[in-house]
Structure 1
Amino acid sequence: MSRALPFALIPLAVACAPLAEVSTDPAPQAASGALFVAGKFGNTLAKVDLATGTRTALVASCANPHELATSPDNRHVALACYGGTTLDIFRTSDLAKVTSIELGNNARPHGIVWHGNGDLYATAEGRQSIFWIRDPLGQAETFEYGTGQRGTHMLVVAPDARHAWTTDLGSKTVTRVDLLTRRAPQSIEVGIEPEGISLAPDGETLWVSARGSNEAYMISPDDLAVRKSVSVGPFPLRIAVRPQGDFSVTSDLAGGSLTVIDVQTGEVARAIAVSSPQEAEQRQQVTILWSPDGQRIYVAETGTDTIAEVDFASGTVLRRLDGGDGGDGLAIIK
């Protein structure tokens, strides 16, 4: 693992790195906004200007940072410190750290959601729990909910913030947590090593990917009934529903591909080759993130320190961005 950098902005001459690779295919429309990348090997947080493709800032973060989430007003980005016990919050404008929220001994936070209500939610894998942080930039009141499951890793939160759902790698389960009444959590076994999880924009369907059984699952959020299982590419580490709610996509690490699922039929619509199967082991494709307009998918390639920008309509890799050492967690603002 690379040595952590001192907590300061790296000089611009170093931070503004060029694109790693650029496709000759024209982009459908100019990208805009900023992409944020957690570098889990270099212990860094990077900001990439999507209009130019340059990395404009790189700061030291906590140990082994993983998932990211941006605030509803796009002014802050929160980082789950998987190698520690905190959620750290930075300004999106200059990546200055503004606060750190302590979750307790052996927390190992991983999954994180900054909800439209302004509150933060995160898994604490080491405590087999999730946290609700009310007013994270103010009083930062923390409420902990045990899942009773091993490896509580990723999570999603309902639009009305009444429930959260987690994937629990060690227990091979999906768990539903009642955030308001604190009723006992419900869990069901789903495939082998379920890890990816995404909630449809209307809150009516959960999508889960199980990396050990190469399947995606359409699940009822209310009773956790599995409506359908779908065979996808090898080692589907993540799954993400398009903002329009029409497609769900898995990130297939071992194949270097994305599997596109039609959410209406529950059938595979197509596969997008981000890299070849021969390159897959080197690139180590992990986290995926939709652009807010649903036109692009950003794919973190941890092994090559790149972020592939994929045009969803054509399946073309438009360019590869430099996100720092071991880029994994991603977040975006317009």
Structure 2
Amino acid sequence: MKILILFFSILISNFASAQTKYILALSKADRKMVVLNYNTLEIIAKIPVGEDPHEVITSDDGSVAYVANTVNGTAHEINVIDLKTFKPIKNIDTRPLYGSHGLAYVKDKLWFTAQGSKAVGRYDIKEDKLEWSMGTGQNITHLLYVTPDAEHFYTTNVESGTVSIFDHVLLQPTMPPTGVLPPNAKPRWDWIQTLVNVGKGAEGFDVSLDGKELWTARPDGHIVIVNLEKREVKADIDAKVLGLHRLKFTPDGKYVCIVSVKTGELLFYDSKTRKEIKRINAGQGAAMLMDKEKNRLFMSCTPNNSVSVIDLNTMEVIKKLDIGGRPDGLTVAELK
């Protein structure tokens, strides 16, 4: 009897897990967000989204998905989708910011790049309003990383060839020419931007687990490592592979996976020695998703109309998924 109870408990637990954890993938051609069973990778649902879906992220509890639409920097909507019912809830109007792309969800705030407006915006989910924005002054502010404490954020600015490092700092009052501060002068919190030149075309990037390094890649085959403490380029590696596009640290932080959207080569670099350890042909990759639980990499191969699944233990492709035309943004959704 005890064995039967244990068996059914495990069965129920696995069933519940299968029902509450998903892989989400965007099809730009079909204008759909595709929901995949986390374990079997079978398609569960296809949900309509906007005209040009690029990136997707979920709320902390995994119950809501947000999809950014770009339309070459002219769109002004982020789709909001209920992951309990698999139905659209509403669209967030990002105006006066245009061309949402990179997304981050931190402390009930939805952060997004607005590449058509050369800016980053922050939407307050609870108050249901755009509460803040900050210009970068850079061309095609594209992808975004926000630190867990929301005190720093980083963007790649593709056409300007820079990485923006923003720090939330307490500034002291500026001394006027008279040399006497006015009675109401007080310190104020503001965002200070530091620009690091990484070369034109740098787009995909990721931050090391210790938060000290930012790796990015350029289509001319160069991998650039930025020291986030010193705010300067630490290393420039010529991988000699054209079309380098996106990259991600593996869940354990030991390796960096860098893909070429031109050749379909996927490079594995040791994050400490900065040496290439393996190279495979995995497809002309764009968006990348690291799945920590199963130690696998999902990669949208947009030109190939497929999503590659790579086993990070063997560093080999184990499956290719058809989720619709021109796949792009990927994320894991786990309902809590």
**1:67-216 equivalence runs, <5 A:** 67-83=55-71, 84-105=75-96, 107-115=98-106, 117-134=107-124, 136-179=125-168, 181-211=189-219, 213-216=220-223
CA distance in 2 between counterparts of 1:317 and 1:128 reads: 37
Q: Are 1:60 and 2:68 an aligned pair? A: no
**Structure 1 counterpart SS, 2:303:** helix
Q: 1:327 to 1:215 in 2, by over 3 A?
A: same
Query: Residue by residue, what CA displacement relative to the aligned partner does 1:107-142 show, whole Å, maximum 9, x if unpaired?
Result: 101111122x232111000100001223x2543342
CA distance in 1 between counterparts of 2:292 and 2:215 reads: 19
Alpha-carbon RMSD? 2.0
CA distance in 1 between counterparts of 2:247 and 2:146 reads: 15
Please report how far the alpha carbon of residue 179 of structure 1 lies from its aligned counterpart in structure 2 after TM superposition: 4.5
CA distance in 2 between counterparts of 1:201 and 1:77 reads: 25
**Structure 1 counterpart SS, 2:200:** coil
**1:216-255 equivalence runs, <5 A:** 216-232=223-239, 233-255=241-263
Question: Which residue is equivalent to 2:186?
Answer: none
CA distance in 1 between counterparts of 2:203 and 2:82 reads: 29
Q: 1:100 to 1:223 in 2, by over 3 A?
A: farther
**Structure 1 counterpart SS, 2:288:** strand
Partners of 2:168 and 2:192 within 8 A in 1? no
Letter of the structure 2 residue corresponding to residue 192 of structure 1: K
Partners of 1:165 and 1:176 within 8 A in 2? yes
Please report how far the alpha carbon of residue 164 of structure 1 lies from its aligned counterpart in structure 2 after TM superposition: 0.8
Query: Residue by residue, what CA displacement relative to the aligned partner does 1:258-292 show, whole Å, maximum 9, x if unpaired?
Result: 111211122222223214xxxxxxxx421111112
Q: Are 1:297 and 2:297 an aligned pair? A: yes
Question: Which residue is equivalent to 1:19?
Answer: none
When the two structures are superposed, what TM-score results if normalisation uses the length of structure 2? 0.81
CA distance in 2 between counterparts of 1:142 and 1:322 reads: 38
Larger deviation, residues 143-152 vs 38-47: 38-47
CA distance in 2 between counterparts of 1:46 and 1:253 reads: 22
Please report how far the alpha carbon of residue 227 of structure 1 lies from its aligned counterpart in structure 2 after TM superposition: 1.1
Larger radius of gyration: 2
Q: Are 1:307 and 2:307 an aligned pair? A: yes
Query: Identity over the aligned pairs, expressed in percent?
Result: 22
Please report how far the alpha carbon of residue 219 of structure 1 lies from its aligned counterpart in structure 2 after TM superposition: 0.9
Letter of the structure 2 residue corresponding to residue 190 of structure 1: V
Partners of 1:87 and 1:100 within 8 A in 2? yes
Letter of the structure 1 residue corresponding to residue 205 of structure 2: I
**Structure 2 counterpart SS, 1:286:** coil
Query: Residue by residue, what CA displacement relative to the aligned partner does 1:204-248 show, whole Å, maximum 9, x if unpaired?
Result: 21111112x211222122342111122333211111112222211
CA distance in 2 between counterparts of 1:209 and 1:185 reads: 21
Give the gaps of 5 or more residues in structure 1: 1-30, 276-283
**Structure 2 counterpart SS, 1:185:** strand
CA distance in 1 between counterparts of 2:90 and 2:38 reads: 26
Give the gaps of 5 or more residues in structure 2: 1-16, 170-188
**Structure 2 counterpart SS, 1:303:** helix
CA distance in 1 between counterparts of 2:151 and 2:44 reads: 38
CA distance in 2 between counterparts of 1:197 and 1:49 reads: 28
Partners of 2:306 and 2:320 within 8 A in 1? yes
Number of equivalenced pairs: 293
Question: Which residue is equivalent to 2:22?
Answer: 34
Partners of 2:114 and 2:141 within 8 A in 1? yes
Structure with more contact order per residue of length (Cα contacts < 8 Å, sep ≥ 6): 1
Please report how far the alpha carbon of residue 51 of structure 1 lies from its aligned counterpart in structure 2 after TM superposition: 2.0
